[in-house]
Structure formats: C-alpha cells, structure tokens
Amino acid sequence: MGIWAAALCAMPAAAAAGPLDLYVERTAMTAADARCGLFGEELRAALDAGRLQARNAAVRAGADPEAIARADRQAVAAATRSACDSDSLRSAADHVRAAFDGFSQTRRITYPGERADWRADRTAGGEQHRWRLAQDAAFDGGRMVFGLAGRDGRPVLLALASFADGRTPYAARLAVRDVDRAGRPYLGLGARADLSGRLPPPAARRTFAAEARSRAGLDLMPETMTSGWAFRFPAEAAATLAELDPREAVAVEFLFSDGTPVRRAYVEVGDFAAGRAFLRMAAR
C-alpha cells in the first residue's frame, strides 16, 4: 500500500491498517502539508488530531520509541520525495479533504483510555465557561474534574476538586514525569497497573505549581458536586502533558496546612494530545 493511501488518512482510525502504519501515513501528510500548504487551519488541526491518536494507538500496541522515530523519518522522507504538484499527492490530499467533510461535523468526541476517558467538546459556548477536554477522577476524600476549560478561544488547564470534609487546600501542583531524567514511562506492574503505579518516583518528577486558585463556578461544577475549588495551571503544563506516553499517569496534589498535608488525584494521560488538537478545530 502506497504512502499516500487515502484510506489510512481518514478519521477516525481505519481498521484496515495497523496503528503504526496509520501514524506513518498521517505524519507523511502532515509533513507534505507543511512543505506544500495543502490544507487550511481547521483541516490541519483535524489531521494532527488523527495523527496523534494513531501514535498513541501504536504506543499502546507495543511500538517502542525507536520504531516511532523510524516511522517519523519514513514519513518525512516520503513527503520530501513527492513533488507538491504530483498527481499522487493531489489525490491523497483530496481524499483527506473528503474524509474531513464528515469529521468536521463532529462537535463532541470521547477518547477511551485504559482506566479513564477524555471527553472533548468543541461546540460554541458564547460567554459561558465549559469543559472542553475533561477527565473525572476520584481520590481519598474527594472528587476532581481535570482538563481544559474556558469560553470560546484558547482554554486553560484546570483542576476542579471537592473535598468531603470541607477543608480548603491552600495550593495545588501537577506532578509529571521529567523526560530529561526518565526517558521511559513508569508503568508499574504492566499496562493495567493502577494509575498510582504509573507515576515515577519523586526524583524523576517535574512539578508545575498552580498559578491561581478560586472557588469553583457553577458553570464548570458537575451536578455531583455542591462546592469546590478550581486551580489553574500554566500553559507549559498542558504542553508537557501532551508529550507524555498515553499509558502513564500524572498526579494533581492538593496541599493543606493541617491534617493530611497532601491529597493526590491521578489522571491517565491517554489521548490528551489528540483531544487538545481536536479542540483547535474551529467550531462552525
């Protein structure tokens, strides 16, 4: 099957090819677009969402970093070999556009994970804040919604949590794997290990302190919560989260001045990167 095989560029992932093949095809189309300007911004974001989803599927299927790197090189080389005005590239680009016609109507999508799902919503919301990409988590003594939230435009990374005992955390931080100290994810006893076992030891972590704290607004608070606190994390934290292995976990740590000093809620990385790219498609 040729590198520009259109079926492999369709969204969602086609069952006819393996996830690494899909990743190669979509990365090749992305590279060709960067060189030849094939697509508009919305289609470019849709293709990127599919590319990232295929990459994560390949990782879950057992592809190692070296295989992913080879796939990247193969895809870029294929894009470089094709002339921008070639029939094969024009045909592949036309098929991508045709596939996008259906996908562009999608306003909400759920990205399933091994332990938790990401819910993505790119509908127009006017002046109302809403969750754009969210995952629910339960932890000892509380519940949390974590993800990207905001009005139309660029959402911010938030953790919204309620605590059964009514205590108020004075701060929060996001703990993730430091890729400079740990090149591979910690997966505990296997891919199905509890999320707490997929967070690296403290020496291999990087933390992001929340930039702001406020009482949770009713527009973001789920019906299961009557009150809560919202913490906003820096944009760099969202970018870092998007680069992690989909099988690993991160932790939101809520800090208290008395009693139990730290309470942790774990989040599965999953298809956060694909969901974030999905949100870049402008709602029409």
> Residue 24, Cβ neighbours under 10 Å: how many?
25
Torsion angle, alpha carbons of 241, 242, 246, 250, to 10: 10
Nearest to 274 by CA among 133, 167, 64, 66: 133
pTM: 0.86
Q: How far apart are CA 20 and CA 114, in angstroms?
A: 19
Is 166 in a helix, a strand, or coil? Answer: coil
Q: Taking 80 as the threshold, does the pLDDT of residue 284 lie above it?
A: no
Strand order in the sheet with 212-215: 108-111, 118-121, 130-139, 142-150, 156-163, 229-233, 212-215
When pLDDT is averaged across residues 185-201 and rounded to a whole number, the result is: 82
Q: How far apart are CA 174 and CA 170, in angstroms?
A: 14
Residues with Cβ within 8 Å of residue 154, at least 6 apart in sequence:
none
> Residue 9, Cβ neighbours under 10 Å: how many?
26
Decide if 239 contacts 259 (C-beta within 8 A): no
Give whichever of 34-38, 138-142, 162-166, 234-238 has the largest mean pLDDT. 234-238
- Written as one string, the DSSP assignment of 209-221 is E-SEEEEPPTTTS
Helix ranges (H only) for 85-204 are 87-103
- Which pLDDT score, from 0 to 100, does residue 211 have? 97
Torsion angle, alpha carbons of 237, 176, 55, 111, to 10: -80
* pLDDT tens, residue by residue, 103-139: 777 889 999 999 999 999 988 766 678 899 999 999 9
- Which pLDDT score, from 0 to 100, does residue 31 have? 92
Decide if 169 contacts 209 (C-beta within 8 A): no
Q: Taking 70 as the threshold, does the pLDDT of residue 189 lie above it?
A: no
Nearest to 212 by CA among 159, 146, 134: 159
Residues with Cβ within 8 Å of residue 67, at least 6 apart in sequence:
20, 58
Q: Are strands 212-215 and 205-209 parallel, antiparallel or unpaired?
A: unpaired
